[in-house]
Structure 1
Amino acid sequence: MTTTSTRSAASFIALRPGFWRVVHPAGHVLGYIEEARAAGAHQFTARRLVSNTTRLVDVGDFWSFDSARACFA
């Protein structure tokens, strides 16, 4: 996985291994993607930041990074 990747309008910035911040081109944070490993499988959880708050809402769990980042397209 690269440290920064761009798809559509959002940028995905690696903050640490297995944890990315999703940033809108205007600079505000849209949410986060976190990778978990269990029993040899990778799972990615997408969480969206609620506008004008610091609250995160779970969007879902996915089997690939690409599926998780599609939530922010």
Structure 2
Amino acid sequence: MTTLTFTPDSIPGALATAPSVREQRGGLTLVQLHDGLIRVTRPSGEVLGYVESYQHAEGERFRAKRFLPRQRRFIEIGEFWSRNDATDCFRFA
């Protein structure tokens, strides 16, 4: 029996989509879950929400959704033309 072990370093292009890819931005931690979804958390691990990308007739758009833990639901904060703008709204909202 042969066991193959893959790491993000061994697969070309995998680093951008690996679930363990983390980025620190403006006091927030961004975790790439898959191609179109980023989880936004505080450094403590508290989930603030998600940024999802989708295709619009005029190009790629980003939708920010805030998580409300007491109500166990998401509310849409807004739609943006850049991922940076979408993640910044979690810092100021």
TM-score higher than 0.5 here? yes
Whether 1:37 aligns to 2:49 is: no
Q: How large is the RMSD of aligned CA atoms in angstroms?
A: 1.4
Structure number with bigger Rg: 2
When normalised by structure 2's length, the TM-score is 0.70
Gaps of 5+ in 2: 1-15
**For 1:25, what is the secondary structure of its paired residue?**
coil
Runs of 4+ in structure 1 off by over 4 angstroms are none
**For 2:70, what is the secondary structure of its paired residue?**
coil
When normalised by structure 1's length, the TM-score is 0.87
Gaps of 5+ in 1: none
Counterpart amino acid of residue 76 in structure 2: D
Count residues with an aligned counterpart: 72
Task: Provide the residue aligned with 1:27 in structure 2.
Answer: 45
Bigger drift between 51-60 and 24-33 goes to: 51-60
Aligned sequence identity (%): 33
**For 2:86, what is the secondary structure of its paired residue?**
helix
Compare the two structures and name the one with the higher strand fraction. 1
Whether 1:61 aligns to 2:79 is: yes
